[in-house]
Amino acid sequence: MSLNKCMIIGNLGRDPEMRYTPSGQAVTQFTVAVNRNYKDQQGERQEETEWFRVVAWGQQAEFAAEYLRKGAKVYVEGRIQTRQWEGQDGQKRYTTELVANTIQNLERRPREDTGDGGSQLPPEPRAQRAPAGQPKASEQPEPDYDDLPF
């Protein structure tokens, strides 16, 4: 038996970036900062931040790009995946990311216009799920990462 499941709650470190694969499938990337508070051996309060790179596909990608903005509190659930590719210098590169199958905006109210071209966020549904009759993200074919522009 195997299990690969990750659940995080944190704040977006930057606005989501949405692209489309050559086949027309939406893919969005963003980062989430998750803070942990603890006391060190001297009894001093410490805080550390862990950054997660998140990738969302299809309907989840479109939701994230439309409704999430830098600083927003978000719940993300999915699986951890490590990819490798060869850089222009011939060196192998690796990245580990959370491939989201559930994204939930935890903001209590819409964010105000920041004056930088961002718009207000309308209220969003409590959970984003694939409509009936469509396969779940885990049942969709594995995308071809070589075609991604980022």
Global confidence as pTM: 0.70
In a domain, 91, yes or no: yes
In a domain, 20, yes or no: yes
Residue 67, helix vs strand vs coil: helix
Tens-digit pLDDT profile for residues 67-122: 999 999 999 999 999 999 888 898 999 999 999 999 999 987 655 554 444 434 44
Strands 92-105 and 45-57 come out as parallel
- As a whole number of angstroms, the distance between CA 84 and CA 91 comes to 10
In a domain, 149, yes or no: no
Average of pLDDT values for 3-12? 97
Residue predicted with more confidence, 148 or 100: 100
According to DSSP, the residues that pair with 9 across neighbouring strands are: 75
CATH of the domain at 74: 2.40.50.140
- Contact predicate 29/150, CB 8 Å: yes
Tens-digit pLDDT profile for residues 28-55: 999 999 999 999 999 999 999 999 999 9
Strands 45-57 and 26-39 come out as antiparallel
Token pair 């690796």 in the structure block, residue: 94
Question: What's the pLDDT score for residue 134?
Answer: 44
* Number of domains into which the chain is organized: 1
In a domain, 1, yes or no: no
Question: What's the pLDDT score for residue 111?
Answer: 54
The range of the structural domain enclosing residue 122 comes to 6-38+46-141
